[in-house]
Homo-oligomer: A and B are copies of this chain.
């Protein structure tokens, strides 16, 4: 998956091109940033996504400007970034962040076949929270029609990962400044029950599992 486009240029040792690494970052994220250009004007739109095998799905209302543009087969760049920590160095210029990111290039394909679309929407919902799909109302025909699903093959992608302590200039290690990493994690808080929820419906097991996993 290392191509002229995906090759990590800045700090090449941070680059990874194997599917396993790329998938692991994609599966850990919740939001991707979709980049495309219309007559030279770039747009970067945050959106949810799902993955199944080597396809990344994005979706939205059929009227969406982004989805309409991408359906025309223009080049797209999808980036997922997970921030893992603040890297505090002794010198201002060596401050950094620990992160995992994936940059994916390609063109999107319309997912039009009903069963394929269904599977993509399943992947979406399960990506947000495993076990969720089975405890919701499934899409109806009208919803399926009103929703556009696009797939991007995960063929031309690279991951970039930084871990570990700050790297200072040799002479700076003697300085009296504190240095280290402040780890950052996304934590789930207590569920906020929908005020309109029918009385007597308890927080389901798949939500409890999610809260335990992430905390």
Mark A residues whose CB is within 8 Å of B. Answer: 5, 9-10, 30-31, 33-37, 40-46, 48, 60-61, 63-65, 74-79, 81, 83, 85-86, 88-93, 95, 97, 99, 101, 103, 105, 121, 124-125, 128-129, 132-133, 135-139, 143, 147, 165-166, 172-198, 201-204, 207, 210-211
Contacts and interface: CB of A to CB of B under 8 A. Distances in A.
Contact of A179 (B88, B101, B197): B197
B197 A180 contact: yes
Integer count of this chain's copies in the complex: 2
Contacts of A97: 30-31, 48, 128
Contacts of A64: 9-10
B92 A139 contact: yes
Nearest to A101: B46
A32 to B, nearest CB: 9
A42 B34 CA distance: 9
Nearest to A33: B33
Contact of A92 (B78, B138, B181, B185): B138
